[in-house]
Amino acid sequence: MNKLNLGCGIDYKEGFVNVDFHSHINIDVQHNLNVTPYPFKDNEFDYILASHVLEHLDKPFEIMKEIYRILKPGGTAHIKVPHFSRGLTHSEHKAGFDVTFPYYFNPNFTKSGYYGIPLKLEKMELHYFAFFHLLPYMGVGKITIFFMKIVNTFINFFAKLSPQLCSRVWCFWVGGFEEIEFIFTKEEKKL
């Protein structure tokens, strides 16, 4: 299985082609992800992970077209991005995302909204907290992290029942979600 870790940062994954702009970290391929085409063949990868990358790039929908190009038919694109309710919490974020993001890859969506790349949504989840691994670096203690994980489990349970309701209404009651996760499967374009 040919796998790509797009915008890997310090999360180097064995068995993946790890790509990032920065050369001072462990990577396999250095590339500015705002520049397309990427240095890969059409239909090259079975699985592409883009975890917290799209929000840093200038044109996320153009990058999704490039992901589609290099993903094999039937392949999986695993995308994690900030939810819009917390999307601009980092100074380099250019966008936040919500539950409508997959609509633009559905050929049954409006002609003006569809981006011409049929990606089937397999999974969508909101995550209230997404970065437990960073909390100790921020001075958060183990007991606080433990209770945050309990709150996270509770809120995520209800968010899974209706991501649309949580994204539009409930996120403002609980302070917003850190992350929205999408898993897409590449479908063939219909002529």
Digit-coded pLDDT (tens) for 100-155: 889 888 888 877 778 888 999 999 998 888 878 878 888 999 999 899 999 889 88
When pLDDT is averaged across residues 93-102 and rounded to a whole number, the result is 79
Return the pLDDT at 3: 98
Task: Report the Cα–Cα distance between both ends of the chain, in Å, rounded.
Answer: 28
**Which CATH superfamily hosts domain 3-128+179-186?**
Vaccinia Virus protein VP39 (3.40.50.150)
Category of 160 on φ-ψ map: left (φ > 0), alpha (ψ -120 to 50) or beta: alpha
What pTM did the predictor assign? Answer: 0.85
Digit-coded pLDDT (tens) for 47-83: 999 999 988 888 999 999 999 999 999 999 999 998 7
Return the pLDDT at 129: 82
Return the pLDDT at 38: 97
Task: Give CA torsion, residues 69, 101, 135, 141, to 10 deg.
Answer: -140
At 44, is the pLDDT very low, low, confident or very high (cuts 50, 70, 90)? Answer: very high
